[in-house]
Chains A and B, each alone.
Chain A
């Protein structure tokens, strides 16, 4: 056998993975495709990659396509098998050059931003129109056990010397299908099944589109620094910005002995979840304990969190500028906690000159959790290790801090804080996190 037995779901058609989240449904490998893999001589194994917004780009479109190809190649390193990624006729194909694991491959591709759809393609050899008709009937029979459906054939000829033109292929194949499956009907406006037939050296058949994550290829949008805390929100925020093609670096504030080594490991694990989509994440771990204790000693306790966050932003911005990041990313959402009220956000925002991206700003917790579950970071996020934002949190922290008051209280720190910040920056431990 030429493929990994048991890797494919047994039934053709749609199947839910996980907990019935409709968006993540993907079709099984068609039985026919499986057979061609086993029996065919010149049968390739391939996926047609559909991309969304890149298509509308102008002269720099090639840059986006190249980035997408690069990201696809990177993602496929995780899947079993050898692949070639090629750009032809304005499309991207992923060809398997060896035995491969179908599900693993699809899963990997589903994590590449810029892909809007993944079409598993069946290649048949061109041995005359009659043979093509046979193949198409078999394809439909295998992929769609329930044939009470409408369909449309959409042919394209890249090889113009084919005896029939596109319109003729559409009509003739439609007739063959109707002959074989009288229960099916043609609908050229809103078909249930859109069967694509592309005539090239071989003939490509595909009708299923597995939804991709959308967005833009990572690397086309510059780089930003994510403040990663260990909670639910920050990995989701990083994922959302990465989705727009932005490469992600991250900073984590570690406060030993108040936070444990496991809390740090948890943050590395979360960075890994982001890296699954965004590529390698450079995670900066900063020892924040002394700054925190100093603020505790010198400032009113109900303002502790705000002042602490202002220093986190300052340090994050410092590292961001040094590493050529064009902005900061946080997981803040208005009103979620005391430090995320409009007034608090204004107070923390005030220390930065780089733009601070807050993609979750208008999201409810439930909406954030939904994405966290989708990107598989939720389970890690809810592990019970304390992060440095909560260890000294006051019972009643200020919810409407006044920037001027905060600034005045920060002056209490002037004696030692600069040295402590410089020291903290020296503790910067960089962990390159790969998925």
Chain B
């Protein structure tokens, strides 16, 4: 049995999406900038995608931009906002548990002389609104807070944060990294006072290499890629049409019965946490129940090295992640886990299970069963 529980790293593509992309790659392969019929044909897909995302986010089509992925969207939002706003102020705010796609641009800006405030999080991975309120200053040009944390699934109070930021400083831009949250809940940037929002195609059964950046009209952000002036000059380069249309199709499909799927995933997540809890000396990270993401379970297994458990599960056909996929190839312990106060000895013992709409009850049962079997066995053989 193959059980793929690493959906926060990437997901399987919808068959329908792959078919659509195949058609665009092989038949309707025109460049939307071309004047001839092939170009016009291609542009139809682009408009379809713009309209789809505009509808799903309840925003204007002109506010939708496509990038190469979540990382690029975050980079444009952060570096672009800093470049455009540096005369107004040189202060930015983010959290300690962001994805490296946010933290690294922030570090780059610090090198460039900007000041960055990193908000702390509680043991469940949530920021404090009071701390945020205190952090926003007249010279704060950008606040960037992730919607759903990729390692522990903590969900931040985005709408409250948005209202608070705008009350404190209406000039401050608010960026939300929603790579893990998009497609799991209905996000409306307008209502949430969000100026920019990043999402990624391959996290919701779309293709890799495609990202979305919502940018409120009037938000002052400089492009960071220059060229032929595509996408209203904000992101030059021939549009990745198969990716764009595939992403739109995937989002459409996910949104169709999102509520039922999310409910089902919460139930499966509950089942999985129950199974994990049956094992001795396991600590669950992040928020329990509906306060956390429906698709992420982070658990620390005392006395087991996460990499070994990962490979042991792999032998049984179960694919999980040690920490998060983005951090797994680095030997340092995860900054997120440290920030939420995971004990030192548990940092290297943490496994992330991440579900998708394709995950079945049977798969979760099989996983629980195997965990119960493997963990005690691995605990017997340890380094002395």
Binding site for B on A (CB under 8 A): 256-261, 293, 296, 301, 384, 386, 391-395
Q: Are A260 and B381 in contact (CB under 8 A)?
A: no
Which residue of the partner chain B has the closest CB to A385? B307
Q: Are A393 and B383 in contact (CB under 8 A)?
A: yes
The verdict on B107 contacting chain A, using a C-beta distance below 8 Å, is no
For A394, what are the chain B residues with a Cβ–Cβ distance below 8 Å? 383-384
Q: Are B383 and A392 in contact (CB under 8 A)?
A: yes
A-contact bits for B303-341, CB 8 A (1 contact / 0 none): 000011111111100000000000000010000000000
For B312, what are the chain A residues with a Cβ–Cβ distance below 8 Å? 257
For A296, what are the chain B residues with a Cβ–Cβ distance below 8 Å? 381
Determine the distance from Cα of A256 to Cα of B382 in the docked complex, in whole angstroms.
15
Answer whether A301 and B331 are a contact pair too, CB < 8 Å, given A256-B311, A257-B312, A257-B315: no
Determine the distance from Cα of A395 to Cα of B382 in the docked complex, in whole angstroms.
11
- The minimal Cβ–Cβ distance linking A265 to chain B, given in whole angstroms, is 13
Within 8 A of A (CB), among B62-103: none
Which residue of the partner chain A has the closest CB to B330? A384
Q: Are A391 and B383 in contact (CB under 8 A)?
A: yes
Binding site for A on B (CB under 8 A): 307-315, 331, 381-384
For B307, what are the chain A residues with a Cβ–Cβ distance below 8 Å? 260, 386
For B314, what are the chain A residues with a Cβ–Cβ distance below 8 Å? 257
Using A260-B311, A391-B308 as known contacts, list a sample of 16 further A-B pairs with CB atoms less than 8 Å apart, ordered by residue number in A: A256-B311, A256-B315, A257-B308, A257-B309, A257-B313, A257-B314, A257-B315, A258-B311, A293-B381, A296-B381, A301-B384, A392-B382, A392-B383, A393-B383, A394-B383, A394-B384
Which residue of the partner chain B has the closest CB to A257? B311
Determine the distance from Cα of A386 to Cα of B305 in the docked complex, in whole angstroms.
12
Q: Are B381 and A392 in contact (CB under 8 A)?
A: yes
15 contacts between A and B (CB under 8 A): A256-B315, A257-B310, A257-B313, A257-B315, A258-B311, A259-B311, A260-B311, A261-B311, A296-B381, A301-B384, A392-B381, A392-B382, A392-B383, A395-B383, A395-B384
Determine the distance from Cα of A261 to Cα of B309 in the docked complex, in whole angstroms.
14
Secondary structure of the B contact surface, majority rule: helix
Q: Are A258 and B308 in contact (CB under 8 A)?
A: yes
- The minimal Cβ–Cβ distance linking B347 to chain A, given in whole angstroms, is 16
- The minimal Cβ–Cβ distance linking B127 to chain A, given in whole angstroms, is 32
User: 7 tightest CB-CB pairs across the interface, nearest first?
Assistant: A257-B311, A257-B312, A384-B331, A301-B384, A394-B384, A257-B308, A258-B308
Secondary structure of the A contact surface, majority rule: loop
For A386, what are the chain B residues with a Cβ–Cβ distance below 8 Å? 307
For B308, what are the chain A residues with a Cβ–Cβ distance below 8 Å? 257-258, 391
Greatest chain B CB density within 10 A among A257, A259, A393, A395 is at A257
- The minimal Cβ–Cβ distance linking A46 to chain B, given in whole angstroms, is 47
- The minimal Cβ–Cβ distance linking A296 to chain B, given in whole angstroms, is 6
- The minimal Cβ–Cβ distance linking A262 to chain B, given in whole angstroms, is 9
Determine the distance from Cα of A394 to Cα of B381 in the docked complex, in whole angstroms.
12
- The minimal Cβ–Cβ distance linking B324 to chain A, given in whole angstroms, is 17
- The minimal Cβ–Cβ distance linking A331 to chain B, given in whole angstroms, is 23
Which residue of the partner chain A has the closest CB to B315? A257
For A261, what are the chain B residues with a Cβ–Cβ distance below 8 Å? 311
Which residue of the partner chain B has the closest CB to A260? B311
Determine the distance from Cα of A395 to Cα of B384 in the docked complex, in whole angstroms.
6
- The minimal Cβ–Cβ distance linking B43 to chain A, given in whole angstroms, is 40
Determine the distance from Cα of A147 to Cα of B315 in the docked complex, in whole angstroms.
68
- The minimal Cβ–Cβ distance linking B379 to chain A, given in whole angstroms, is 13
Determine the distance from Cα of A154 to Cα of B331 in the docked complex, in whole angstroms.
59
- The minimal Cβ–Cβ distance linking A60 to chain B, given in whole angstroms, is 51
Determine the distance from Cα of A129 to Cα of B382 in the docked complex, in whole angstroms.
81
For B331, what are the chain A residues with a Cβ–Cβ distance below 8 Å? 384
Determine the distance from Cα of A258 to Cα of B313 in the docked complex, in whole angstroms.
11
For A393, what are the chain B residues with a Cβ–Cβ distance below 8 Å? 383
Determine the distance from Cα of A296 to Cα of B381 in the docked complex, in whole angstroms.
7
Determine the distance from Cα of A256 to Cα of B316 in the docked complex, in whole angstroms.
12
Which residue of the partner chain A has the closest CB to B377? A293
Which residue of the partner chain A has the closest CB to B331? A384
Determine the distance from Cα of A391 to Cα of B312 in the docked complex, in whole angstroms.
14
Greatest chain A CB density within 10 A among B314, B381, B382 is at B381
For A395, what are the chain B residues with a Cβ–Cβ distance below 8 Å? 383-384
For A392, what are the chain B residues with a Cβ–Cβ distance below 8 Å? 381-383
For B313, what are the chain A residues with a Cβ–Cβ distance below 8 Å? 257
- The minimal Cβ–Cβ distance linking B135 to chain A, given in whole angstroms, is 36
Which residue of the partner chain B has the closest CB to A391? B383
For A259, what are the chain B residues with a Cβ–Cβ distance below 8 Å? 311
Determine the distance from Cα of A293 to Cα of B379 in the docked complex, in whole angstroms.
12
Determine the distance from Cα of A386 to Cα of B331 in the docked complex, in whole angstroms.
11
For B311, what are the chain A residues with a Cβ–Cβ distance below 8 Å? 256-261
Determine the distance from Cα of A392 to Cα of B305 in the docked complex, in whole angstroms.
12
- The minimal Cβ–Cβ distance linking A255 to chain B, given in whole angstroms, is 10
For A301, what are the chain B residues with a Cβ–Cβ distance below 8 Å? 384
For A257, what are the chain B residues with a Cβ–Cβ distance below 8 Å? 308-315
For B383, what are the chain A residues with a Cβ–Cβ distance below 8 Å? 391-395
- The minimal Cβ–Cβ distance linking A106 to chain B, given in whole angstroms, is 35
- The minimal Cβ–Cβ distance linking B334 to chain A, given in whole angstroms, is 15
For B315, what are the chain A residues with a Cβ–Cβ distance below 8 Å? 256-257
Which residue of the partner chain A has the closest CB to B311? A257
Determine the distance from Cα of A259 to Cα of B315 in the docked complex, in whole angstroms.
12
Which residue of the partner chain B has the closest CB to A392? B383
Determine the distance from Cα of A3 to Cα of B308 in the docked complex, in whole angstroms.
53
For B381, what are the chain A residues with a Cβ–Cβ distance below 8 Å? 293, 296, 392
- The minimal Cβ–Cβ distance linking A290 to chain B, given in whole angstroms, is 11
Determine the distance from Cα of A301 to Cα of B383 in the docked complex, in whole angstroms.
9
- The minimal Cβ–Cβ distance linking A278 to chain B, given in whole angstroms, is 30
Determine the distance from Cα of A260 to Cα of B315 in the docked complex, in whole angstroms.
11
Determine the distance from Cα of A256 to Cα of B307 in the docked complex, in whole angstroms.
11
Determine the distance from Cα of A370 to Cα of B327 in the docked complex, in whole angstroms.
31
Which residue of the partner chain A has the closest CB to B307? A260
Determine the distance from Cα of A261 to Cα of B307 in the docked complex, in whole angstroms.
11
- The minimal Cβ–Cβ distance linking B330 to chain A, given in whole angstroms, is 8
Determine the distance from Cα of A386 to Cα of B381 in the docked complex, in whole angstroms.
16
- The minimal Cβ–Cβ distance linking A244 to chain B, given in whole angstroms, is 37
- The minimal Cβ–Cβ distance linking B329 to chain A, given in whole angstroms, is 8
Which residue of the partner chain B has the closest CB to A256? B311
- The minimal Cβ–Cβ distance linking A270 to chain B, given in whole angstroms, is 18
Which residue of the partner chain B has the closest CB to A258? B308
Which residue of the partner chain B has the closest CB to A396? B384
Determine the distance from Cα of A395 to Cα of B309 in the docked complex, in whole angstroms.
22
Determine the distance from Cα of A391 to Cα of B383 in the docked complex, in whole angstroms.
7
